[in-house]
Amino acid sequence: MKKKRVFLGSVATETNTFSSLRTDIKDFHESFYALPGKHPETPTLCSAIYPVARAKAKKYNWNLIEGTATWAEPGGVVNQKTWEKLRDQILSELHAAQPINIVLLGLHGAMVSQECQDCEGELLEEVRKIVGPTAIVGVTFDPHSHLTEKKVKNANLITVFKEFPHVDFVETAEDLIDLVHKTEKGKIQPIISTFDCRFIDLFPTNQEPMFSFVRKIKDIERDERILSVSIIHGFMAGDVPDLGTKIIVTTDNAKDEGDAWAKELGLELFSLRGQTRPNLISIEEAMKQVQNAKDGPIVIADVWDNPGGGVPGDSTILLKEIIKRKINNVALATIWDPMAVRTCISAGENSVLQLRFGAKMSQEGGNPIDATVKVCKIKEEAFQRFGDSIVPLGDSVWIKVAGVDVIINSVRSQVFHPIVFSSFGINPYKKDVLVVKSTNHFYDAFSEIASTILYVEIDGLYPSNPKTNGYRNLSRKIWPININPHESVSY
- Write out the residues near Zn ion by the rule CB under 5 A: 142, 144
Query: C-beta of 143: minimal distance to Zn ion in Å?
Result: 6
d(CA 246, CA 253): 21
CA distance 467 to 478: 10
Question: Shortest approach of Zn ion to residue 167 CB, angstroms?
Answer: 12
CB of 390 vs Zn ion, minimal distance in Å: 18
Least distance in angstroms from the C-beta of 428 to Zn ion: 24
Pick the closest to residue 343 from 394, 393, 307, 395 (CA basis). Answer: 395
Query: Residue with the closest Cβ to Zn ion?
Result: 144
Nearer to Zn ion among residue 70 and residue 438 (C-beta)? 438
Residue (108 or 379) nearer to Zn ion, CB: 108
* Greatest distance between any 2 Cα atoms in the chain: 71
Query: Considering beta carbons, is residue 122 or 142 the nearer one to Zn ion?
Result: 142
CB of 68 to Zn ion, least distance (A): 22
- With CA atoms as reference, report the closest residue to 106 among 7, 191, 187: 7
Residue 316: other Cβ atoms inside 10 A: 22
Beta carbon nearer to Zn ion, 78 or 131: 78
Q: How far is the CB of 204 from Zn ion (least distance, A)?
A: 11
Which CB sits closer to Zn ion, 358 or 466? 466
Q: Which is nearer to Zn ion, 142 or 405 (CB)?
A: 142
Number of other CB atoms surrounding residue 102 within 10 Å: 24
Q: What Å distances lie between residue 361 and 19, 171, 336, 365, 367, CA to CA? A: 10, 36, 10, 7, 10
Closer to Zn ion at the Cβ: 16 or 410?
16
Min dist CB 412 to Zn ion, Å, is: 16
